[in-house]
Chains A and B, each alone.
Chain A
Amino acid sequence: MRLTSFLSTGALLLLASTANGYTVFVSNEKDNTVSVIDSTTLEVTKTIKVGQRPRGIVLARNGEWLLICASDDNVVQVFDTRTLEFVKNLPSGPDPELFTLHPKGNPLYIANEDDNIVTVVDIEKGSVLSEIPVGVEPEGMGISPDGTILVNTSETTNMAHFIDTQSNKTVDHVLVDARPRYAQFTPDGSQVWVSSEIGGTVSVIDVKTRKPVGKVSFQINGVNADAIQPVGIRITRDGKTAFVALGPANRVAVVDTASLKVERYLLVGQRVWQLAFTPDEKLLFTTNGTSNDVSIIDVEKLRVTKSVKVGRYPWGVAIAPF
């Protein structure tokens, strides 16, 4: 009886300890691998070989599939997140770099850096639905929470292109600062935030009017302006706080979305690039392209708690809910 009770308690403890455990996937651009990290132990549990030059990664089918832009293979690869086995290739158009999935789970919108198009792919059928011409060197991809508006940024044209996902046509273009890299909608869909790597700013654009309504600027004591290069952006579900990766400034900026003021700069690894929250939003993972590690930020305490070595040139990060 005592043993049964002990076992039951043990089982409950085990359940409790794994209840908040997530699987973190990090693409390593130079190693052609994806590192798998257990969010509870914060250790790399496996490294899987993937296609050449993996960059953007995203989860599909409620986290069951991991989609990887294998840029130099000109495909999007699909892996099973539980077995870590390769499932299939999806057509991607040339040099896929970043992509975003429709909130309903399909289709996938892929930025093709070399061809100045966005390719729309049905991930179930594995077919190309449309190719949308955009600006030169498309990169950042963000989709509104209701899935009606897609925003693509073009590095050379310095624009955020607004695309109607019903017609797959561009409906507007908004000029932003130099080399826009990433587009992130606020959770209520009212704004889209666009980071500009060379401009060193984040433009905040009103989605209805498609006009810039504000700009976030960054200043870090002792860090030269040319090292402040905003790239990845994540905004908390309550819409109150944004986290912006600042590249070779090696900092993540914590921004109050109401005032657009930076509240804090967190020192992470080198050339911090992309970010992802755990589903419970307790942790934020950052990929650090030069120090070849990921930093883990405690979101409530706004403290960097650990860094974990991964492969060379960690680029994208996605976190499965199990």
Chain B
Amino acid sequence: MTFPRGLVRSRRLIRTRLGIACSVALFAGMLAALFAGLPARADEPEWPCVQRRVATLTAAQMWDGPDVEALTGWQDDAEMDRLIKALVSRANPMEQASESLAQWAKAQPDSSRDEKLKMLFAGVLKTINDDRAVVLAGIGRFQHRQRQLAERIQEQGAVLGALRAKAALDEKAKAELTVAEDRYKWDTRFFAERQDSLPLACEIPVQIEQRAFDLAREIRALMKD
């Protein structure tokens, strides 16, 4: 994945004396390259992360236990519902989550433990998928805004070229050029800084997946069958 590195390089170039004239062409090319491989179809969500987008996590991805997709009812068990919320919360360290899970499992009667654990996993998976969907949508919106910004920067590059040609002869064009250059500089900087934060944003779904998998492994290990 080359987005952040390419943009960091281009940002450095903008700051040097080489100046805006050279950087416009470079940045325009880079923006075109950045968005060239991205989905343009209206029915496909925009997705900038190196990991391919997977819309929903399924139980079968996580474990070899029974199917839980159709299970509901954990909300009716207040204790289980509370535990689910605690387990999926990334603010709660995994070690602590494991301990709470083990204690809860131990307190369940032998005869119904597996069923309860199955239900618990169904709740964990649903809650995690709901949280993850919000994150995925946020990343999609971020990318959409970046695309819009990229288009604006490309348009500004074209305007700068025209103004530069006029500025040698025309004082008014010269003044307009200064304003346009400032706006261009500001937008490219804003774009690049947002782009730099992208790897961190892309990490969040990965962390959620890690949590889901860890919980699935632990819950499964507590089941007899």
Separation of A133 and B27 alpha carbons in the complex (Å): 24
Chain B 25-66 against A: per-residue CB contact (8 Å), 1 yes, 0 no? 000000000000100000000000001111111111111100
Chain A min CB distance to B33 (Å)? 10
Q: Which residues of A contact B67 (CB under 8 A)?
A: 222
Number of residues on chain A facing chain B (CB within 8 A): 26
Q: Which residue of B lies closest to A179 (CB)?
A: B52
The majority secondary structure among interface residues of chain A is loop
Name the residue on B nearest A270 (C-beta): B213
Q: How far is the CB of A253 from chain B (nearest CB, A)?
A: 14
Chain A: CB-nearest residue to B207? A290
The answer to whether A267 and B63 have CB atoms under 8 Å apart is yes
In-complex Cβ contact of A226 among B2, B52, B209 (8 A): B52
- Select A270's contact among B55, B59, B210, beta carbons within 8 Å: B210
One of B2, B37, B55 near A95 (C-beta < 8 A) = B2
Chain B positions 169 through 208: 1 when the CB is less than 8 Å from some CB of chain A, otherwise 0: 0000000000000000000000000000000000000100
Residue of B at shortest CB range from A304? Answer: B64
Q: Does A223 contact B (CB under 8 A)?
A: yes
In the complex the two chains form, what is the Cα distance from A226 to B53 in whole Å? Answer: 8
- Name the interface residues of B52-94: CB closer than 8 Å to any CB of A: 52-64, 67, 69
Say whether A23 faces chain B, with CB atoms less than 8 Å apart. no
Contact B58 A227 (CB under 8 A): yes
The answer to whether residues A227 and B2 also contact, given A290-B213, A291-B210 and a CB cut-off of 8 A, is no
A-side contacts of B58, CB under 8 Å: 222-224, 227
Query: How far is the CB of B142 from the nearest CB of chain A, in Å?
Result: 20
CA gap between A229 and B63 in the complex, in Å? 18
CB distance from B136 to the nearest CB of A (A): 12
Give the docked Cα–Cα distance between A252 and B67 (Å).
20
Asked if A34 is an interface residue, CB under 8 A from chain B, the answer is no
Q: In the complex where A113-B2, A156-B37 touch, is A197 in contact with B60 (Cβ < 8 A)?
A: no
Shortest distance between the CB of B46 and any CB in chain A (Å): 15
Q: Do A249 and B61 touch (CB < 8 A)?
A: yes
Give every chain A residue within 8 A of B59 (Cβ-Cβ): 222
Q: Once the chains bind, are B2 and A223 in contact (CB under 8 Å)?
A: no
A197's nearest neighbour on chain B, judged by CB, is: B52
> Closest CB of chain A to B223's CB: distance in Å?
15
Which residues on the B side are within 8 Å of A223 (C-beta)? 58, 60-61
Interface size on B, residues (CB 8 A): 24
- CB-CB < 8 A to B213: which residues of A? 250, 269-270, 290-291
Report the Cα distance A66→B74, complex, angstroms: 51
A198 at the B interface (CB under 8 A): yes
Distance, CA A291 to CA B206, complexed state (A): 9
Confirm or deny: A248 has a beta carbon within 8 angstroms of a beta carbon on chain B. Answer: yes
- Do the beta carbons of B61 and A227 come within 8 Å of each other? yes
Interface centre among B5, B61, B214 (most CB of A within 10 A): B61
**Which listed residue (A114, A229, A267, A290) contacts B2, Cβ 8 A?**
A114
A5 within 8 A of B: no
Task: Mark contacts of A249-268 with chain B using CB atoms, 8 A cut-off: 1 yes-contact digit, 0 otherwise.
Answer: 11000000000000000010
Would A227 and B37 be within 8 Å (CB), given that A113-B2, A114-B2, A270-B213 are in contact? no
Interface pair A222/B54, CB less than 8 Å apart: no
- CB of A220 closer than 8 Å to a CB of B: yes
- The yes or no answer to A221 lying at the interface (CB within 8 A) is yes
A224 & B56 in contact (Cβ 8 Å cutoff): yes
Other A-B contacts than A113-B2, A248-B209, 20 sampled, CB-CB below 8 A, are A72-B5, A114-B2, A220-B60, A222-B58, A222-B59, A222-B60, A222-B61, A224-B55, A226-B52, A226-B54, A227-B54, A227-B57, A227-B61, A229-B52, A248-B54, A269-B213, A271-B51, A271-B209, A290-B210, A291-B210
What are the nearest 4 A-B pairs in CB distance? A222-B60, A223-B60, A227-B54, A270-B213
Which B residues have a C-beta under 8 Å from some C-beta of A? 2, 5, 37, 51-64, 67, 69, 206, 209-210, 213-214
- A selection of 22 A-B contacts at a CB cut-off of 8 Å is A95-B2, A114-B2, A222-B60, A222-B67, A224-B55, A224-B56, A226-B52, A226-B53, A226-B54, A227-B61, A247-B52, A248-B54, A248-B61, A249-B61, A250-B61, A250-B62, A267-B64, A271-B51, A290-B209, A290-B213, A291-B210, A292-B210
